[in-house]
Amino acid sequence: RLLARPPAAVPRPLPSRRCAEAVAGRLGLERIGVSELAQTLGAHEAWDDERKCHVLDEDAVLDAMEPKLGKGGCVVDYHACELFPERWFDLVVVLRAGTEVLYDRLRARNYADSKLQENVQCEIMQVVLEEARESYAPEIVVELRNETPEDLEATLSRVATWGEAWARDHGTG
């Protein structure tokens, strides 16, 4: 069970989804996109006018995820981690990007200036990485770059190697 966390603390850049999909595909796991799941369930508490996005109904989403995450075999893709029980994950990957790369990605997605600045500030302050380190055992939190196709390939290789070793050590591979 793997949690992939993109840079910045508000809705994630598309490259993290591609990374999570590629990792899930390579390891034969199911990708769960929390934002997509919430959309499918209609699991929103409100609309945030400032950020132009829905506020997640965490209880509804966690209830829907529990059966799958309890069994394992999933890669979870989301921009926050403190809402998930620690027992759900064997590895937490925090994907990082330089502020110039992040800025360009978010600008291309037409983010409002305030939202764009918030994301860049969160990356500078390492908010996502610190939240992961506070929410999970330090030995399962890994920080990886996610800027180029080569970074994606290195992430896939590293996570696949970890997954194979985990399966061997736990008698599942």
* CB-CB contact of 17 with 79 (8 Å): no
Q: Up-side HSE of residue 11: CA atoms within 13 Å toward CB?
A: 19
Query: How is residue 46 written in tokens?
Result: 């409100």
| Tens digit of each residue's pLDDT, the chain (173 residues) | 565 544 433 333 346 788 888 888 888 889 999 999 999 999 999 998 887 788 999 999 999 999 999 888 899 998 888 899 999 998 999 989 999 999 998 899 888 888 889 989 999 999 989 999 999 999 999 999 988 889 888 988 998 888 888 888 887 65
Residue-level pLDDT at 6: 46
Instruction: Give strand pairing partners of 77.
Output: 4, 33
Q: Report which of 27, 123, 44, 112 is spatially closest to residue 79, judged by C-alpha positions.
A: 123
Residue-level pLDDT at 8: 37
Q: What is the pTM of this model?
A: 0.84
Residue-level pLDDT at 59: 96
**DSSP letter for each residue of 73-87:** -EEEE-S--TTS-GG
Residue-level pLDDT at 43: 96
Residues sharing a CB contact under 8 Å with residue 67, sequence separation 6 or more, in sequence order: none
Which SS3 state, helix, strand or coil, does residue 158 take? helix
Give the single-character DSSP code of 140. G
Residue-level pLDDT at 28: 87
Residue with tokens 């990708």: 31
Residue-level pLDDT at 72: 86
